[in-house]
Structure 1
Amino acid sequence: MPTVNDRSNRSQAVWLSCLASGFRAALACTIVGLLTLYGPPSLRRQVAFPAFSYVTVILIVTDATLGDTLQGCWLALYATIQTVGPAILSLWLIGPARFTSSTTALAVALAAYVVALPEGTHLIAKRIALGQIVITYVIGFINGEHTEAVFHPMHVAASTAVGVLACVLALLLPYPRLACREVKQNSKQLAENVSERLKLYVKAFCAEDNTSALASISQAKSLAIGATKLFQNIKRYQESMKWERLPFRFLRSYYMNPVEKLQDLEIPLRGMEMAVSNSTLSYPVRLLNGDDQLLKEGLHGLEEHVCSIIMKQVNNCDNNPVSTVPESNAESVTKSLQTLQTSQLPTTTQDLPFYFFLFCMKLLHSKSLPKPTTSPTTTHVKDHVLVKKNNDEKLQNGLSFNWAMKVNTKRLVPAFKCSLSLGLAVLFGLLYSKENGFWSGLPVAISLASAREATFKVANVKAQGTVIGTVYGVLGCFLFERFLPIRFLSLLPWFVFTSFLRRSRMYGPAGGISAVIGAVLILGRKNFGPPSEFAIARIVETFIGLSCSIMVDLMFQPTRASTLAKAQLSKTLGTLHDCVDSMSLDHRDNNNNHNQADNLVENQKRLKMHVNELGRFIGEAEVEPNFWFLPFHSACYSKLLVSLTKMVDLLLFSAHSVRFLEQQSPNKIEASSKIDSDIELVKDIVGSSIKCFEEVTMVKSLAILEKELEKKNISYDVELGKSSSTNPNKVSDLDENAMEKIMSCYLQHSKEEIVGSKIQGGDGDEKESQLVLSLSALGFCMQSLIRETKQIEEGIKELVQWENPSSNINLVEISCKVHALYN
């Protein structure tokens, strides 16, 4: 388990991060306050909307680096160009005095549609542009004939510029917060995390009893959660690094990012966890024929070598990665690798986890080694590809006007949804209170999402965040009514507190940002009337805006997340069936002449995407209100997700094994054909069951299925599905003895393959050992695929029983009914 020291270090890191984020946000808001309250009169006249300056600060500076802020400068400029020009033209042609509540809402809706429609525009740019649209048109309508068609939009642009300037200064003072430094620090922590997990897995493998092994495994699982967070942090800061290259070229060394190499190491680490966690592995682990102590020494030596390579690659700051193994270590590493060589296949399936662990250990070692130096020609080609990739990324990040204005037909509905929700929010907000009408549209504008969200949860946390932020602002004004500087100082603890809110599961980014804005808009301004009255008006207007947003969301995405989760489960099972079907030792695919390993990897990537999408829908469905619907069976879906995730990893390990076997056995021989027949048998068992599960999950209700059968007068033969040859769920009839028999045949055929393909030469022993490990790893994967299929069967049964509580669930019978109805 994690030590007290580890927990203390993590807590300290979170505190420091929140303090730093809160300090810079408070500094940026203080700069805005100083400029808008104490700046030169000429500047204050231009910055007519300090509230939007604060909003701009919160949109850009929240947990930002200097790279984020520099990108925010460009995005704010791009958003201003998008909105100010058309706004000046509209106000000049129509005239602010002619606007009504309905025409103002229509103008806001049309302008919002134009902004939301392009696919390539960055989300921050869209939020700033939508906020500018609300301020420009609604306040133009409120001021009526006193609104100047040209200078009014320019004042909105000036207010945005002040917010952007404050963000840049806050990220530079007292020293710049660089994304490259954040990436380097997180990469170092990640390398330490990977090294520590490797040590724990080796320690568990070499443990003398189950208790010691379980303790190490538990600690490694805890570290794996931390590794996921570190990967997310690095990915989040990688985009910002690109914006720091130009002004900070002298820090070129910081841009060496080893995260891809570290991410490759995650795959064998997950395999090692599977091996040591396998129920059939008994401790202490014993070699079939060899010296146990020598094996452990070899594992520890290889572990130390891999850890040293990882740390050197992370700590290496020049552009030349570690390319060689130190001579002093070369001999010991070779000796360590030799201890892992074995020419004897496992005699029983209980030994497969042992060999799979050694396979993953060697895979980890090969992935940790640096790539060989490329030739100048190859380097030139890679540079050309890198430039093209960077240009493509720039296009996708709103750096090209041509791409940003490109319209995708899939964007029509989301753009119309954004337009309608913003237009309705402005309309009802103005009808309720003309003076404060823009506060109903502004929360909707600045919270535009790029993808589907949990509508009710997000609206709930936004409302709660707005209320608690507003209440804090009112209390601050009450306590420090005559001391404006102290009011700004009171923002610092609030920013720190909301930094924790943003990281919490309860509120998240949406609730945290709403809480920040709620307090800043009261504490950072003056001459807006009694704070309590303004607070009540703003809370009501925010409620109006959120209600309109919820209503439009329900109109355009009425399908519940739980329904989408079940549909995605069916798609995932279908993709899993295709993935399992592509497992083979045939060296070429007749359709596209690709290696079977390559086909398996491609299908595995598609499966991984579907599993990730399923996880997203499950997360949304868990926080979705039930109302009068059947409650979402979160526990069952979570179990299914765990099994599917394991199968994704197992299929990838199968691809690694198949690739090596393809390389070592280019010519098909009789023994290989026997192994292939064993693989086909496992594919048939797993594939048929997965197909059955897919068909069962596509049934919305058993009662509806029965009615359809009666309506069409269709009969079905359940007994036909019970025979071993036609049973669609073959894994249900497979007990431990039958599975043991299948795997024993596979091991026997693998032994014949080893004997029949003796490799001559100096490296023959090494290749033979790798052949043994690859065949053993493939056997472990097939055995584990069958076990996970059984777990999925139990989960599907539980899910169908949950949805049909009065029915007796028989998956084979349901599958037969589906076949009878649709075939």
Structure 2
Amino acid sequence: MANQTHPLWRVRLASALRTALACTIVGCTTLYCPKPLRNFLTYPSYSYMTTILVVSDATLGETLRSCWHVAYATCQVMAFSVLALWLLGPARFTNEVAAAAVALNVFVVALPGSTNLMSKRIAFGQIVNVYVGTVILGPHDSGIVMHPTHVAASTALGALASVIAVTFPYPRLAYYEGKKSWRLYAENASQRLTRFVEAISALDNRVALESISQGKTLSKAAVKLLQSISHNLEGMLWERPDIKFLRPNHKDLGEKLQEMEIPIRGMEMALSSCASFPVNMINEELKGHLQSSELQRSLKLLQAKYSMPSEATTAPEGNRETSDKPLWTNKTTTTIHQDLPALFFLYCMKLLLGDLPIARNPRNTPKFKDKPSDTQTQAQCICKRVWRSIKPSPRNFIFALKCSIALGLAVLLGLIYNKEQGYWSGLTIAISFEIGRQATFTVANARAQGTAMGSVYGIIWLFLFQRINQLRLLPIIPWIVFTHFLRHSKMYGQAGGNSAAIGALLILGRENYGQPSAFAIARIAEACIGLICFTLVEVLFYPMRAATLAKNQFSQSLGALRDCVQDINLCLPASTGLREKQRKLKSHVKELEKFIEEAETEPNFWFLPFQSDCYNRVLGSLSKMVDLLPFVAHTTDFISQKSQDASEELKQHMITDLEIIKEKTGSSLKCLEEVTSMKSLAALETQVQSEYDSEAAISPNPFMILGTCDEEAETIVSKFLHHLQEVVDKVHTSDGEVKHVSQMVLCLSSLGFCIRSLMEETMNIKEEVRKLVK
């Protein structure tokens, strides 16, 4: 862990120093540049805000993309604000008119669905500066054009300083950051593979459990590395021109990484399901084969460290003989009921060695929805694409209305409270908005604390340097470094870290704001006004608690899981529909995870505490089922196409058993979905009572509608595995090639493991639902 933590600290320290350099450039320019240039840079506070938004943790590609968003936002605001100032005239701008103008302009900017969130946030801050500044400065005819120009110039300074900082002392390229993450991931995957092979080959429980524990720790690091690789992909596209012979082939990188990650996660699930170690079926010959296969794959990963998967036209060549040789050739009858985890482990190893496309839809073909037909011209197609990109969705309409009301109200109240410092009520929340719901109270609390900390820090250092004013920029550097690490903390996050940095920069990095302590108090008060407006509007637009949303999302996830289970089919290759439904379930589970995290941090008020332990166990079960479904799709496709060795009678028994399992599992999931959608245990008891035969002597059990019991589920799965055993024995006695027989046995066994695991996780979810309802 120390080897993985050390580079992370170095990366964050380097990003913090670049952020400090950008802020220093802004400070020196606004304080010491020639006066004609300083006359244009009248909003240094917004230069700092732009710098913090653009350069923090950014690569060169991300910075260039953000600068494009800054330019786009500036053009929008310049056009709208000059038109509004020309139509109304600066002399007519009162507090109420400025607030109305802010609300209207914010609504127009936030409405298009294609505009990036960064552009919208930059534009919100510029709008506040333009209209509040018009009220504060008073009527000036030159202000119609020059005042918005000053705001644009200050914004441009922040963007330019960000680009310079990211390129000093050498460019921080997204390509190299992604390549570095890929190298770490390749090494991580190789180490996990080694640990898992050690565990399956272990001769005692202690060694096996220790190896599994080390592998799980490495798996957590792998998740962060995969996120880092995905995060850098878009930055790579901005670092190279969109020219055919220079364009990087990163389109399928996510799928290629998933093809590697899914089998490794499958190995971890197989080991976690082993009852004890050593595993009976892992003999000395199989151990040697596993170790040679692990060595081959590890060498392949270590070779791939030095080139991204998207750059390699072909995979590095390994030992073809080892790759083609079947992993398991045992012709004797085996009790697969006990050996399912080990067989599933071998199946995952086979997928990993063969680079099989488990993450891809084999029959997925591109669909050209916008291809012009005979009756459509190219111009009509382009118009339709443009309209679809700017057409506001209901979600964007709500977002635009929310931002408009919150910023308009904040500007009005801020100007009424303190006209000279009326900027800060709007600027505090201009960069806080998210499309959709966010953890409102957590964000507001972090921003308030960050603003207070930064302001106090600035006042202390300004007092210490009051006689040597030229050194006032020096304390900025350690504070930026500190707040950069603060924004990665769980307590403050990005919102609190940015607010703390800006709070100190506004006091140490500018002049002519009066007494520092008075300015700090006024700004904190204005920030509180803005945060109150932000919280009030967010609660009005999203009145449901995160705990309620987590409950509703849990119910929707169960419905999506039921759809996936119903789509399992042994007769026809049905991977297309199952994979699509698996992706839908995965998105539901991600939303559930987000709501659980928010519910754990939100205040309970007068409500019951959030049952985070139960929900986290449910999330673990659902995540495991999401990971199992790609294996189900892959095995059912293979079995439906190549199951000629088994008799039709045995195959029919398997299909019948699978239909029973689907029916029982689907029934249980439907009951769980209905129960989790109810508001209380009283509602559940009322429904059971309405369905209960009043002539019966026994009182109804409110949990009787939760579907299949554990004993019945075990019986159904055992029957399916019994028929699966017969099919495996039939395949063993066939005259097919050893390689084909091995593949078929591993596929059948893996399907059995997945079906049994799905049923077990369904029963685990049912037990957690019992606790939640009680």
Q: What do the CA deviations read for 1:430-464 (whole angstroms, capped 9, x no partner)?
A: 11100001110001112221231011011000111
Compared with structure 1, are the counterparts of its residues 20 and 677 closer, same or farther at alpha carbon in structure 2 (3 Å cutoff)?
same
* Aligned equivalent of 1:612, options 587, 590, 606: 590
Aligned residue in 1 for 2:752: 779
The answer to whether the 8 Å contact 1:119/1:404 transfers is yes
Partner of 2:490 in structure 1? 505
Aligned to 1:241: 236
Code of the residue aligned with 1:70 in structure 2: it is L
Bigger mean CA offset, 696-705 vs 734-743: 734-743
In structure 2, the partner of 1:346 is: 334
Q: What is the CA deviation profile of residues 348-393 of structure 1, one whole-angstrom value per residue up to 9, with x for unaligned ones?
A: 522111111111111111227999xxxxxxxxx99999x99xxxxx
Is the CA contact (8 Å cut-off) linking 1:720 and 1:727 kept in structure 2?
no
> Partner amino acid for 2:222?
A
Cα shift readout 1:689-748 (whole Å, capped 9, x = no counterpart): 1122112112112324556899xx87646979999xx98545315169736742552334
Instruction: State the partner residue of 2:528.
Output: 543
Query: 1:751 is aligned with what amino acid?
Result: V
Please say if 1:448 is aligned against 2:433. Answer: yes
1:522-554 Cα shifts (integer Å, max 9, x gaps):
111122112111111111100000000000111
Partner of 1:582: 567
Question: Which position in structure 2 is the counterpart of 1:263?
Answer: 258
* Equivalence map 1:489-504=2 (5 Å): 489-504=474-489
Q: Give the alignment partner of residue 102 of structure 2, picking from 86, 108, 111.
A: 108
Aligned partners of 2:186 and 2:304 also within 8 Å = no
In structure 2, distance between residues paired with 1:537 and 1:483: 25
CA distance in 1, matches of 2:5, 2:165: 25
| CA deviation string 1:779-817 (max 9, x = no partner) | 11122122212211110100001xxxxxxxxxxxxxxxx
Separation of aligned partners in 1, 2:727 and 2:4: 48
Q: CA deviation at 1:485?
A: 4.8
1:366 to 343, 346, 354: 354
Number of residues of Structure 1 aligned to a counterpart in Structure 2: 756
Residue aligned with 1:584, SS:
coil
**Aligned residue for 2:463?**
478
Q: Are residue 749 (structure 1) and residue 734 (structure 2) matched?
A: no
Q: Distance in 2 between matches of 1:342 and 1:150?
A: 83
The partner residue of 1:689 within 665, 668, 675 is: 668
Q: TM-score, normalised by structure 2?
A: 0.91
Match of residue 166, structure 2, among 144, 153, 171: 171
CA contact (8 A) 1:346 1:352 kept: no
Residues 1:700 and 2:690 aligned together: no
Distance in 2 (CA, whole Å) between partners of 1:452 and 1:736 is 39
Deviation at 1:224, TM superposition (A): 0.7
**Aligned-pair distance for 1:191?**
0.7
Q: Which amino acid aligns with 1:362?
A: K
Equivalences for residues 208-287 of structure 1 within 5 A: 208-246=203-241, 260-280=255-275, 282-287=276-281
Q: Alignment partner for residue 789 of structure 1, among 751, 762, 772? A: 762
Kept in 1, the 8 Å contact 2:479–2:501? The answer is: yes
2:202 alignment counterpart: 207
* Contact in 2 for aligned 1:258/1:314 (Cα 8 Å): no
TM-superposed deviation, 1:413: 1.5
Q: Which amino acid aligns with 1:624?
A: E
Quote the residue 1:357 is aligned against.
345
Q: TM-score normalized by structure 1?
A: 0.86
In structure 1, distance between residues paired with 2:336 and 2:246: 56
Alignment partner of 1:531 is 2:504: no
Equivalent residue for 2:452?
Answer: 467
2:58 matched to which residue of 1?
A: 64
Note closer, same or farther for the CA distance 1:789–1:596 as it changes in structure 2 (3 Å cut): same
Gaps of 5+ in 1: 1-5, 372-380, 389-399, 588-594, 802-823
Equivalent residue of 2:114, what SS?
Answer: coil
Q: Which residue of 1 aligns with 2:380?
A: none
Deviation, structure 1 residue 252: 7.5
**Would you say 1:331 and 2:321 are equivalent positions?**
yes
C-alpha contact 1:108 1:422 (8 A) present in aligned 2:
yes
Question: Which of the residues 543, 546, 549 maps onto 1:564?
Answer: 549
Question: Mapping of 1:752-767 within 5 angstroms?
Answer: 753-754=730-731, 758-760=734-736, 764-767=737-740
Among all aligned residue pairs of Structure 1 and Structure 2, give the percentage whose two residues are the same amino acid: 47
In 2, are the aligned partners of 1:352 and 1:779 still within 8 Å (CA)?
yes
The one of 586, 592, 600 aligned to 1:622: 600
Look up the equivalent residue of 1:749 and give its one-letter code.
Answer: E
Distance (Å, rounded) in 2 between the aligned partners of 1:714 and 1:580: 27
Contact 2:98–2:132 under 8 Å retained in 1: yes
Q: Which residue of 2 aligns with 1:77?
A: 71
- Partner of 1:503, secondary structure, is coil
- 1:821 corresponds in structure 2 to none
Q: What do residues 492-514 of structure 1 show as CA deviations (whole Å, max 9, x unaligned)?
A: 11111112111111111111111
1:161-200 alignment, distance < 5 Å:
161-200=156-195
> Which piece of structure 1 moves more, 650-659 or 341-350?
341-350
Q: 1:597 aligned to 575, 590, 593, which one?
A: 575
Distance 2:77 2:589 in 1: 40
Shift in Å, 1:749: 3.3
Taking the aligned partners of 1:300 and 1:709, their CA distance within structure 2 comes to: 56
- Pairwise CA distance, 1:118: 0.8
Q: Which residue of 1 aligns with 2:382?
A: none
Checking the alignment, whether the CA contact within 8 Å between 2:179 and 2:307 is kept in structure 1 is no
Contact 1:206 1:285 in 2 (8 A): yes
Task: Select 2:17's aligned residue among 17, 23, 46.
Answer: 23
Q: Is the 8 A contact 1:562 1:632 kept in 2?
A: yes
